[in-house]
Structure 1
Amino acid sequence: RGGREGKEREQLRTAVLLYLSAVFGFSTTCVFTALLFLPLQLKGHCSGVHGGGGEGVERGRVAVILEQGTPLQMIQLLQTPWEDRFRVCLDLVRLLHFLSRSPLGSVGLLDFQPRQFITVSGQLKLTDLDDVSAGEIACWTDADCTLKFPHRNFTVPCSTRGVCDGLNEKRNIYNAYRFFFTYLLPHQAPPGLTHLVDHIMNTTGELKADINQTLEAFEQILLLYKSGLHLDNLHPSALRDMSPSGNGEYRCWPSYSQQGCVLSVHSAREAAYICNSHSQCNSFTLTGQKTWTGEKLSSFGHLVPDSASEVYVKKSKVPQSPSS
């Protein structure tokens, strides 16, 4: 059923695009472009009838109803766990990968402020396409193909076809680095992934990687994170000083909960490693909840577990009296 509904939605989307193109022509270029690129779900549309307008609808006007999302707030995003911040960056790179080879050619986003994006169920989506550049810029010399930023300039060659090949892609990558990666990626990245995060920061900040290589680097981090392979260096005895029982209190930031310390972990071994690394932590609980990557939510604060939870506390060490 899900496949049939998805196909029907895509058919509706295509029909609306064709209708807008045929009836309204270039006057709805912005709407056409938005419908083509926005990964938002199309809920419906209405439009005036060419040559006579329906009741309550002006001739030549079109209204499109899209799903509602939450505006991206960078200040709030900075307070979320690394896994959620990584998801925003990953979604952005996937979007830029699509824009680099879109049906309209290479597309550059001229306004990269966070206000241009929303999140729907945690997934980043583009909501405003007023400021886009479809197709590469025409040029006569390499000097016509210069990207100017506040502190850096980059130049791409002017091709024999008279266009700045790759200019839109490079602009998108560097703006992603400026407005998103710099603030969201490095802080509190898992120790086993910091070298890969540093690699992304270096290659995007210097424009040494194209969008394909950048996406590949992000997907590699996702694979390692979901599989837990980045935790291979954790000693198996991380659980040695932990036993199932009791609870304790411990707070951390950022946390999935404001009422205590709730973090995502791959296993009890990783949770034990985190708890053993902080003297204030006396216990942790593996809940039955999971994040978008499949990681388990672990509470390191005071919590009464349910039947689906596992609770671990540090074993008490009885001080030995000095021998007489």
Structure 2
Amino acid sequence: RGGREGKEREQLRTADETLQEPVTNGPPATIPCRPTAPFSKPIWCLSFCSSSVYLILTLRPVLLYLSAVFGFSTTCVFTALLFLPLQLKGHCSGVHGGGGEGVERGRVAVILEQGTPLQMIQLLQTPWEDRFRVCLDLVRLLHFLSRSPLGSVGLLDFQPRQFITVSGQLKLTDLDDVSAGEIACWTDADCTLKFPHRNFTVPCSTRGVCDGLNEKRNIYNAYRFFFTYLLPHQAPPGLTHLVDHIMNTTGEDADINQTLEAFEQILLLYKSGLHLDNLHPSALRDYTVMRDMSPSGNGEYRCWPSYSQQGCVLSVHSAREAAYICNSHSQCNSFTLTGQKTWTGEKLSSFGHLVPDSASEVYVKKSKVPQSPSS
């Protein structure tokens, strides 16, 4: 037994090393396989014989639902039916050999990328841009699930614990509580969704299924568990009317196409800075630029929410927006534009005591510019 466990540990180390190797196109060791209904995309068959196959899978934001159906024959073939084109980074096989020293016959391990569990309390303390990203990723996922190769897919458990974030990107991690395909019905009464404060009814189609039931469940749960808490608070003033529109429509009659379009419009305006057109161009007149300087970040000036716990760091589209923010805080005397950017391309702007920094430049209120000591 000790020898077998040692071999398994060695194989797990090999799996870890595989993650560092270059990714090749397509899955290794694949053989042709005949598609099986209801799978409409080509199916990959991975050879499996007296060994463990470790599948290292990267979950893309819209490729987040995995269905695996496998069986063993006398030729020891492991068949994985993947209805989504997941990226297979690599695999490692157990040691072949007799005497029972190899990995147990039929054992399969699936290794998924590591992420951070979604904690709503922590998420509420992050800047609006990051909270918007979580909601946008979720809407894109739901849009895909409404048209997956298996048909409409419903998420039956929408608690935040079902998700993780990887480098800020939302991904689905628990695939147990899903429903592929719409439920059967005889009348419209069979197609009613009941929530604590709202009920919905979708039509029973001539095919005898509740058309749009999964989509309605998904989008309303997204509204209940995510949008309500993450979207409205501290949204940029130039985007609040669009955020309000999303909040009003997703709780009522908007479908996933309309919701995705609304989110993409907000993203476009936010990245382009068009939502800042109403900012007065004179906001920068009260500032002078001091190059090769940056705030020390020692915490003497704080704001919330901030990208840094050691000071006040916010994302801005331009120096004009940073000046507008600084002018709205009585304690703010200067701001800097760093070389760091967020996922949307926004610049990080920070505030605080000035120290030398060749990569930054500081905008200081003219009344606060340090004066050289007189001789």
Q: TM-score range by the shorter chain?
A: 0.7 to 0.9
> What's the CA shift for 1:302?
3.0
Report the CA distance shift for 1:47/1:285 in structure 2 as closer, same or farther (over 3 A): same
Change (3 A) 1:310 1:241: closer
**Contact 2:70 2:78 (C-alpha < 8 Å) held by counterparts:** no
Task: Please point out which of 190, 196, 205 is paired with 1:150.
Answer: 196
SS in 2 for 1:39: coil
Hey, which of these two has a bigger chunk of helix by percent?
1
Displacement of 1:322: 28
Distance (Å, rounded) in 2 between the aligned partners of 1:2 and 1:91: 45
Unaligned runs of 5+ in 2: 16-63, 285-290
1:256 correspondence with 2:307: yes
- The residue matched to 1:27 in structure 2 has which SS? coil
Q: How many residue pairs are counted as aligned between the two chains?
A: 320
Measure how far apart 1:23 and its partner are. 7.8
User: Residue 47 of structure 1: CA displacement?
Assistant: 7.8
Of all paired residues, the percent bearing the same amino acid is 100
Structure-2 change in CA distance of 1:40 and 1:255 (3 Å):
farther
Asked if the contact 1:281/1:300 (under 8 Å) is kept, the reply is yes
Whether contact under 8 Å (1:243, 1:313) holds in the other structure is: no
Shift of residue 57 of structure 1? 3.8
In structure 2, relative to structure 1, the CA distance for the partners of 1:53 and 1:95 (3 Å cut) is: farther
Unaligned runs of 5+ in 1: none
**TM-score, normalised with respect to structure 2:** 0.70
Residue of 248, 264, 277 corresponding to 1:202: 248
Deviation beyond 4 Å, 4+ runs, structure 1: 1-15, 18-23, 25-56, 240-249, 317-324
Aligned counterparts of 2:367 and 2:2: Cα–Cα separation in 1: 53
Following superposition, the deviation at residue 59 of structure 1 comes to 3.6
Instruction: Return the offset for 1:60.
Output: 3.5
Structure richer in strand, relative to its length: 2
8 Å contact from structure 1 (residues 20, 32) kept in 2: no
| Structure of higher CA gyration radius | 2
Any conservation in 2 of the 1:249–1:282 contact (CA below 8 Å)?
A: no
Q: 1:319 to 1:81 in 2, by over 3 A?
A: closer
- Pick one of 84, 94, 104 that aligns with 2:150: 104
Alignment partner of 2:106: what SS? coil
Q: In structure 2, do the counterparts of structure 1 residues 35 and 5 end up closer, same or farther at CA, with 3 Å as the change threshold?
A: farther
- Shift of residue 33 of structure 1? 13
Flag the 1:101–1:245 CA change in 2: closer, same or farther, 3 A: closer
Task: Name whichever of 24-33 and 256-265 sits farther off.
Answer: 24-33
- Comparing 127-136 with 37-46, greater Cα deviation is found at 37-46
Q: Is the 8 A contact 2:293 2:357 kept in 1?
A: no
Deviation of 1:62 (Å): 1.9
Inter-partner Cα distance in structure 1 for 2:176 and 2:154: 11
| Maintained 8 Å contact 2:65/2:84 | no
Q: How big is the alpha-carbon RMSD for the aligned residues of Structure 1 and Structure 2?
A: 8.3
Q: Which moved more, 1:307-316 or 1:174-183?
A: 307-316
Post-superposition CA distance 1:173-225 (Å, at most 9, x none): 0000011101100000000000000000111111xx11111111000000000
CA distance in 1 between counterparts of 2:8 and 2:269 reads 36
Contact 1:85/1:185, CA 8 A, preserved across alignment? yes
Quote the Cα distance in structure 2 between the aligned partners of 1:322 and 1:48: 74
Q: 1:223–1:144: structure 2 CA closer, same or farther, 3 Å change rule?
A: same
Moved more, 297-306 or 228-237: 297-306
In the superposition, relative to structure 1, how do residues 133 and 32 fare at CA in structure 2: closer, same or farther (>3 Å)? Answer: farther
Change beyond 3 A, Cα 1:154–1:210: same
